[in-house]
């Protein structure tokens, strides 16, 4: 599947050049220590490109010119120069002017390109004409998606309704000629097949002919196009069966082995680094009401196996348990719930209360990245309400995941159905590099208090 567009690749190269030129120029201008130029350069480039990626600055089509996005870009530039600032600080050099000039130069040029691209995208770029083959629910979904995402610069010109030709040569030839003429007359750039039922054999074979669809016209299956645009897995009866088959044939033992090593290393690092913070929180909670600061909660793991997940208590001791779906929304309410110990509100937003789940990861009951390990009460409700929900348990459930960094942790049936789409997309495309990027991004969001 194609993930990077030409515009993203060009932006990546542009950012590389800006980071390189600005750093080398200001380093030389302020006569910083020559022996540490390359160390500073590598730190800025490596941290800069990683930070921009992790903070979604390569979702160029979604970069609207708003105060929030401009600030987030500036925040990314600050993180970019932090390692270089630490290196130069310990050298006891006068580095402040270099850091400030480099910071504002990098921020200014990165912002300039994004403003120019935004103007080009919404004012100059040609809109691509889309022809959808099919009618019904799939066609409606993809039409609505294209209409909602204006940054795609696509418009649905017409729906070519597929009618089963029953492998009749004359009927097939007439329909194929009609389709060929529509592609030419409507100047079609993209075709999306979105029919609820499979094409009959003769029509499908005729459609593959080079004389029907010109080479410059891109052809997508609805499900593939939906994944490409939304980075979610579309769920219906057909795709549930398809997902099961795909998982059985692509479940890599080698990936699972290295994923386990990754989990152990990451869990040990997180536990060690956060121990002073979690220890302080645990002590304050203990002093608040005299109860144990650690408790366990039943969670659902791989293949539906139940285990006890460790958590730091952030609420006053109570026995609240939701009994039906109407109360699920209050399970882990972040703001208004008066059961939350006041100083623990940010602890919950930053997910420090779940750090002790690293112990579950070391025990092999969870993974670092994957579908979230849900509370048994919640999982039981959603398994009944949401088609395909149990598919997320084909792999180890986890501490954070693709769904959490996109949808957060809030509980609601509609929201959970969307998170399931993210979970299945992750399971289908997972790899170690992506696992690492999800983990680092989750940490960025948590430390910024945005991992709601």
pTM, to two decimals: 0.83
Q: What is the CA radius of gyration of the chain?
A: 26
Distance between CA 212 and CA 193 in Å, rounded? 14
Closest CA to 293 of 308, 311, 276: 311
**Which of 247-256, 301-310, 397-406, 438-447 has the weakest average pLDDT?**
438-447
**In the CATH hierarchy, which top-level class contains the domain 128-230?**
alpha beta
Domain segments of the chain: what residues?
6-124, 128-230, 250-447
Distance between CA 133 and CA 161 in Å, rounded? 6
Per-residue confidence band for 290, with pLDDT thresholds at 50, 70 and 90: confident
Distance between CA 179 and CA 318 in Å, rounded? 66
Q: Indicate the helix (H) or strand (E) that contains 11.
A: helix 6-29
Per-residue confidence band for 336, with pLDDT thresholds at 50, 70 and 90: low
Mean pLDDT of the chain: 86
pLDDT above 70 (res 410): no
Q: Indicate the helix (H) or strand (E) that contains 294.
A: strand 294-300
Vertex 103, ends 99 and 105: CA angle to 5°? 120
Share of the chain above pLDDT 90, in %: 46
pLDDT single digits (tens) 14-36:
999 999 999 999 999 998 888 88
Per-residue confidence band for 413, with pLDDT thresholds at 50, 70 and 90: low
Distance between CA 214 and CA 183 in Å, rounded? 9
Angle between helices 413-429 and 432-447 (to 10 degrees): 140
Which residues have C-beta within 8 Å of that of residue 81, sequence separation ≥ 6?
Answer: 44, 47, 48, 99, 102, 103, 106
**Which of 53-67, 372-386, 389-403 has the weakest average pLDDT?**
53-67
């Amino acid at each position: 599947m194609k993930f990077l567009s030409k515009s993203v690749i060009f932006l990546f190269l542009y950012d590389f050049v800006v980071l390189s030129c600005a750093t080398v120029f200001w380093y030389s201008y302020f006569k910083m220590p020559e022996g540490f130029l390359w160390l500073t350069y590598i730190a800025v480039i490596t941290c800069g490109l990683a930070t921009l990626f992790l903070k979604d600055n390569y979702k160029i089509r979604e970069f609207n010119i708003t105060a929030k996005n401009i600030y987030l870009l500036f925040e990314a530039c600050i993180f970019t120069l932090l390692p270089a600032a630490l290196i130069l600080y310990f050298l006891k050099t006068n580095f402040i002017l270099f850091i400030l000039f480099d910071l504002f130069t990098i921020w200014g040029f990165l912002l300039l390109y994004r403003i120019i691209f935004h103007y080009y995208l919404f004012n100059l770029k040609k809109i691509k004409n889309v022809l959808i083959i099919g009618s019904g629910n799939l066609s409606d979904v993809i039409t609505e998606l294209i209409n909602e995402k204006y940054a795609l610069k696509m418009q649905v010109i017409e729906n070519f309704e597929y009618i089963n030709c029953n492998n009749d040569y004359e009927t097939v030839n007439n329909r194929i000629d009609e389709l060929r003429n529509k592609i030419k007359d409507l100047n079609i750039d993209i075709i999306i097949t979105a029919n609820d039922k499979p094409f009959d054999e003769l029509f499908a074979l005729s459609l593959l002919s080079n004389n029907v669809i010109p080479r410059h016209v891109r052809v997508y299956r609805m499900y593939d196009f939906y994944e490409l645009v939304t980075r979610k897995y579309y769920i219906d009866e057909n795709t549930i069966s398809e997902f099961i088959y795909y998982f059985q044939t692509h479940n890599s033992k080698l990936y699972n082995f290295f994923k386990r090593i990754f989990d152990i290393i990451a869990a040990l690092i997180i536990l060690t680094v956060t121990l002073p913070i979690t220890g302080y929180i645990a002590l304050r909670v203990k002093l608040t009401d005299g109860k144990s600061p650690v408790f366990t909660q039943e969670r659902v793991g791989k293949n539906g196996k139940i285990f006890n997940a460790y958590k730091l208590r952030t609420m006053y001791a109570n026995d609240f348990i939701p009994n039906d779906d109407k109360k699920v929304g209050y399970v882990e309410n972040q703001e208004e719930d008066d059961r939350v110990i006041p100083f623990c509100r940010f602890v919950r937003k930053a997910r420090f209360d779940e750090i002790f789940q690293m112990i579950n990861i070391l025990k092999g009951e969870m993974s670092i990245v994957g579908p979230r390990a849900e509370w048994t009460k919640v999982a039981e409700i959603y398994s009944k309400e949401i088609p395909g929900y149990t598919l997320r348990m084909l792999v180890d459930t986890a501490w954070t995941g693709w769904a959490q960094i996109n949808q957060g942790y809030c509980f609601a049936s509609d929201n959970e159905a969307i998170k399931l789409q993210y979970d299945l997309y992750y399971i289908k495309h997972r790899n170690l590099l992506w696992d690492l990027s999800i983990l680092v991004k989750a940490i960025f969001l948590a430390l910024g208090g945005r991992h709601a």
